Amino acid sequence: MTDHPSTLTISDAAAALRSGATTSVALTQASIDAADRHDADLGVYLARFDELALAAAAKADEELAAGVDRGPLHGIPLGVKDIIAAEGGPTTAQSLILDPAWGEGIGDAVVVARLRAAGAVITGKTTTSEFATGMPDPEKPFPIPRNPWNPAASPGGSSAGTGNGVAAGVILGGLGTDTGGSVRLPAAWCGISGMKQTFGRVPKSGCVPLGYSYDHIGPMARSAHDCALLLQVMAGFDPSDATSVDVPVPDYTAGLTGSLEGVRIGVDLLAGVAETDPALPAAMAAALDELAAAGATLVPVSLPLYQELTDATMIGLYGEALAYHRGDLAGRWADYGAGARRMLAVGTLVTGADFVTIQRVRRVGQRRMAELFTDVDLVVTPSTAVAAPPIDLTETVLSIAPIFTPIWNATGHPALCVPAGFSATGLPLSMQIVGRPFDDAAVLATGFAYQQRTDWHLRVPPLVTRTPTAASATSRG
C-alpha cells in the first residue's frame, strides 16, 4: 500500500482491504508513520498504542484472509477521545485530577468494545479539552492540539485530537463526545464530518461525564458515509447506561442513495445571531444549491427559542458538571487547568430555580421543534459563523456566540456537520444538517447526497502529502 491514509475514507479503505490492494497492517503502519510526522506539531494523541494496534491489525488480516469478515470497520485504524475508556492505556480526561485507575479498572467502554468486536484497530487515546471543557492550559503537562490547516488556529474542542487526527490522516476515523458541540465544532474547523446522534442512541457507559443529560459519544470521519458505518456499530441499547434508549437500530447505509427527491429541508442561516465570515454566505448558498440539485425542496424557517435553548445547554451543562466535580474543585482547585476550573466553577452560580427553568425551557423547545418538523423533514444551518480563530492560550474560555451547535444538545436532535468550503484564509467552513429524533438515517443520507456532489470532505491540509490512488481519486466515500 503506497497511499497515505488521509487520501482514503473508511469506505475506500474497507474496499481496498477486501480487494487485496492493502492490508490492515499497512494501513495501521501508515497511520503510525503519519503520527510520527505530525503528532508533535498537532497534538493528536495523549497516548499511542502502536504495538497493540499493529498486533490487532495483524489479527484482522489473518481473519480476513480466513474469510472471517466482521464488517466495514474490520482492520480500520481509529482513535478514541481520552475521556472514553479503552484498554491499552489509562483514561486521563487530559487532567491531573482523574485517577488513572479509573480507566484501567473498567476496561473498554461499551462503545469501544463494540468497535473492537467489529474488528476496528484502536490506535490510541486522542487529545481533548480537560474534562471536555475549557481551553488548553500551557501550564499543565499535556499536548496543545492544533489545526492541521493552520497550526496557529484552533482545531475546535473538545474532541480536538480525533478531529485534527482525521484531517491530517493520522487516523481514518474515531470517537468524540458532544455536550454542546464538541464533536461538531472540531469537525467544522478541521474540515471533516462529525455527528451528534439522537440522545440515548449510543450508550455512554465508560465515558467521563460532563453534562449527564446533554452528553453524546459521536462518530468523526471524513465523510457522512463513514459516520454511518461507525454509528451502525456504536448504536443500540445497553442497560449499563440509564439514558440509553431501547429503540431498534436501522441500517444507516441503506438510504445512502444520493437522491433527496421528496425531502423538505428547512433553512435558517442564523444571519442575525453572530458576525459571519465573509465567505460563509456564498459557501452556504452553494451548498443549498447542491441540496436542491439533489432533489430537495428548500423552505425558509426560523428556529424556535434559538437563544433560550442555547442558553439552556450552556448553563445547564455546567450545573450538571458541578455534580461530578464539586468535591475535586473544592479540594484540588489548583490541579485543574485554568480553563477547566473557570468553566466548571460556573456551575456554582446555577441555582435550583435556574435548573428547573432550564428543564422547562428544554421541554417547551422540544415541543416547538416537533411542530417545526411537521412541516419539514430536516433543518440546515451553518455549523459556525466563523472559521477557526487563532489559538490564544491566554484565554480560558472560547466564545460560543458564533457557534450554532449547542441548541441541539438541549433538544436531543441528531445533527451532522459536513465541510462546505473555505474562508479567504484557507480554513474550513461547514454546514450543519439536523433531523427528527431517531431519524439519524435521514441526516446521514442528506450528508451523503451532498458529498456525492462535492469534494470538500476529501480536501487535505497543506501539511499532508497526498498521492491519490485510483480508488481515492474517483470515490466520494
DSSP state for residue 235 in the 8-state scheme: -
The pLDDT score that the predictor gives to residue 2 is 36
Average pLDDT over residues 377-398: 89
Domain ranges of the chain: 5-474
Average pLDDT over residues 332-355: 95
Rounded Cα distance between 283 and 456, Å, is 11
Least confident segment among 89-98, 186-195, 294-303: 89-98
Annotated active-site residue 430? The verdict is no
Q: Which three cell numbers stand for residue 62?
A: 489473518
Give the confidence band of 474 by pLDDT, cuts at 50, 70, 90: very low
Rounded Cα distance between 83 and 160, Å, is 12
The pLDDT score that the predictor gives to residue 152 is 95
Q: pLDDT for 55-82, tens place per residue?
A: 999 999 999 999 999 999 999 999 999 9
Average pLDDT, the chain: 93
Given a cut of 50, whether residue 468 has pLDDT beyond it is: no
Average pLDDT over residues 432-441: 98
Alpha-carbon dihedral angle through residues 60, 64, 70, 71, given to the nearest 10 degrees:
110
Options 24, 129, 182, 205, the catalytic residue:
182
The pLDDT score that the predictor gives to residue 258 is 98
Q: Strand order of the sheet with strand 173-178?
A: 45-48, 121-126, 77-81, 173-178, 216-221, 193-196, 415-422, 428-435, 378-382, 264-267, 297-300
Options 158, 383, 430, 472, the catalytic residue:
158
The pLDDT score that the predictor gives to residue 103 is 65
Instruction: Please state whether the peptide bond connecting residue 19 to the residue before it is cis, i.e. omega within 30 degrees of 0.
Output: no
Given a cut of 50, whether residue 149 has pLDDT beyond it is: yes
Cβ atoms of 284 and 268 closer than 8 Å: no
Q: Which CATH class is domain 5-474?
A: alpha beta
Annotated active-site residue 383? The verdict is no
Annotated active-site residue 259? The verdict is no
Average pLDDT over residues 242-258: 97
Give the confidence band of 475 by pLDDT, cuts at 50, 70, 90: very low
Average pLDDT over residues 228-244: 98
Residue 136's region, left for phi above 0, alpha for psi from -120 to 50, else beta, is beta
Cβ atoms of 147 and 390 closer than 8 Å: no
H or E element at residue 357: helix 352-372
Q: pLDDT for 177-217, tens place per residue?
A: 999 999 999 999 999 999 999 999 999 999 999 999 999 99
Given a cut of 90, whether residue 5 has pLDDT beyond it is: no
Q: pLDDT for 306-325, tens place per residue?
A: 999 999 999 999 999 999 99
Of residues 274 and 413, more confidently modeled: 413
Rounded Cα distance between 76 and 60, Å, is 9
Q: Which three cell numbers stand for residue 387?
A: 472559521
Of residues 47 and 398, more confidently modeled: 47
Contacts of 443 (CB under 8 A, 6+ apart): 195, 378, 414, 415, 416, 433, 434, 435
Options 81, 125, 196, 204, the catalytic residue:
81
Q: Which three cell numbers stand for residue 383?
A: 455549523
List the one residue out of 112, 188, 255 whose CA is nearest residue 389.
188
The pLDDT score that the predictor gives to residue 8 is 82
Cβ atoms of 194 and 163 closer than 8 Å: yes
The pLDDT score that the predictor gives to residue 421 is 98
Rounded Cα distance between 171 and 31, Å, is 6
